[in-house]
Chain A
Amino acid sequence: MEKPSRILIIDDEEIVLDSCLAVLEGRNYEIATAPDGTEGLKTAQKFAPDLVLVDLMMPGISGFEVLEGLRGIDPTIVTIVVTGYSTVESAVEAMKRGAFDFLPKPFTPDELRLIVQRGLERRRLVLETITLRREKEMLQQNFAAIISHELRSPLSAVQQNLFVLMAELDTQLSESQKGRFERLKVRIADLLKMIQSWLRAVSAPEGKIGGDFAPVSVQAVIARAVESVQTHATRKDITITDSAPGSLPAVLGDETILTEALVNLIGNAVKYTHAGGKVAVSAAVEAGQVVVSVADTGIGISAEDVPSVFDAFYRGKVGPDAEAGCGLGLALTRRIIEAHHGTISVESEIGKGTTFTVRLPVSAAESISPPGEAPAAPSTLDPGDPR
Chain B
Amino acid sequence: MSDRKQLLMIDDDPDFVDGIKSILTAAQYDVDVAHNPKDGFAALQKKKYDLLLLDIMMGRGAEGVMIARKMSRDPKLREIPVLIMTGIREQIAFLFGSQALHPHFVEVDELMEKPVEPRLLLERIEALLKAASVKASEKK
Hey, which bits of chain A sit against chain B, CB under 8 A?
141, 144-145, 148-149, 152-154, 156-164, 167-168, 196, 199-200, 203-204, 208, 211, 256
Complex CA gap A250/B96 in Å reads 29
Q: Quick check: B13 and A141 within 8 Å, CB to CB?
A: no
Query: Given A145-B57, A145-B61, A196 and B89 touching (CB < 8 A)?
Result: yes
A-B complex: 8 closest residue pairs judged by Cβ atoms: A159-B115, A156-B114, A160-B19, A157-B15, A160-B115, A157-B16, A144-B95, A161-B19
Q: Report chain B residues within 8 Å CB of A168.
A: 22, 26
Shortest distance from the beta carbon of A285 to any chain B beta carbon, whole Å: 29
Query: Residue of B at shortest CB range from A158?
Result: B15
Q: Quick check: A200 and B19 within 8 Å, CB to CB?
A: no
Q: Quick check: B95 and A163 within 8 Å, CB to CB?
A: no
Q: Report chain B residues within 8 Å CB of A208.
A: 94-95, 97
**Which residue of the partner chain, among A141, A148, A154, A163, contacts B92 with CB atoms under 8 Å?**
A148
Q: Quick check: B19 and A196 within 8 Å, CB to CB?
A: no
Query: Given A149-B57, A167-B119, A144 and B96 touching (CB < 8 A)?
Result: yes
Query: Residue of A at shortest CB range from B55?
Result: A153
B2 at interface, CB cutoff 8 A: no
**B 67-113 contacts with A by CB, 8 A:** 87-89, 91-92, 94-99
Complex CA gap A145/B56 in Å reads 12
**Which residue of the partner chain, among A156, A159, A161, A163, contacts B18 with CB atoms under 8 Å?**
A161
Q: Quick check: A153 and B118 within 8 Å, CB to CB?
A: no
**Which residue of the partner chain, among A156, A161, A167, A200, contacts B87 with CB atoms under 8 Å?**
A156
Q: Report chain B residues within 8 Å CB of A152.
A: 87, 114
Q: Quick check: A163 and B26 within 8 Å, CB to CB?
A: no
Complex CA gap A196/B114 in Å reads 13
B43 at interface, CB cutoff 8 A: no
Q: Quick check: A153 and B20 within 8 Å, CB to CB?
A: no
Q: Report chain A residues within 8 Å CB of B91.
A: 256
Query: Given A159-B115, A168-B22, A168-B26, A149 and B95 touching (CB < 8 A)?
Result: no
Complex CA gap A206/B99 in Å reads 19
Hey, which bits of chain B sit against chain A, CB under 8 A?
13, 15-16, 18-20, 22-23, 26, 57, 61, 87-89, 91-92, 94-99, 114-119
Q: Report chain B residues within 8 Å CB of A154.
A: 13, 15
Q: Quick check: A160 and B87 within 8 Å, CB to CB?
A: no
Beyond A157-B19, A160-B114, A161-B15: 20 further Cβ-contacts under 8 Å? A148-B87, A148-B88, A148-B95, A149-B57, A149-B88, A153-B87, A153-B114, A157-B13, A157-B15, A160-B16, A160-B116, A161-B18, A163-B116, A164-B118, A167-B23, A167-B119, A196-B89, A196-B92, A199-B92, A208-B95
Complex CA gap A157/B21 in Å reads 12
**Which residue of the partner chain, among A144, A156, A199, contacts B16 with CB atoms under 8 Å?**
A156
Would you give 16 A-B contacts (Cβ < 8 Å), ordered by A? Answer: A148-B87, A153-B57, A153-B114, A156-B13, A157-B13, A157-B15, A157-B19, A158-B15, A160-B15, A160-B19, A161-B15, A168-B22, A168-B26, A196-B92, A200-B92, A203-B95
Shortest distance from the beta carbon of B32 to any chain A beta carbon, whole Å: 19
Residue among A153, A157, A200, A211 having the largest count of chain B Cβ atoms under 10 Å? A157
Shortest distance from the beta carbon of B10 to any chain A beta carbon, whole Å: 15
Shortest distance from the beta carbon of B80 to any chain A beta carbon, whole Å: 23
Q: Report chain B residues within 8 Å CB of A145.
A: 57, 61, 95-96, 99
Q: Report chain A residues within 8 Å CB of B114.
A: 152-153, 156, 159-160
Query: Residue of A at shortest CB range from B56?
Result: A149
**Which residue of the partner chain, among B15, B95, B118, contacts A167 with CB atoms under 8 Å?**
B118
Query: Residue of B at shortest CB range from A212?
Result: B94
Query: Residue of B at shortest CB range from A260?
Result: B91
Q: Report chain B residues within 8 Å CB of A153.
A: 13, 16, 57, 87, 114
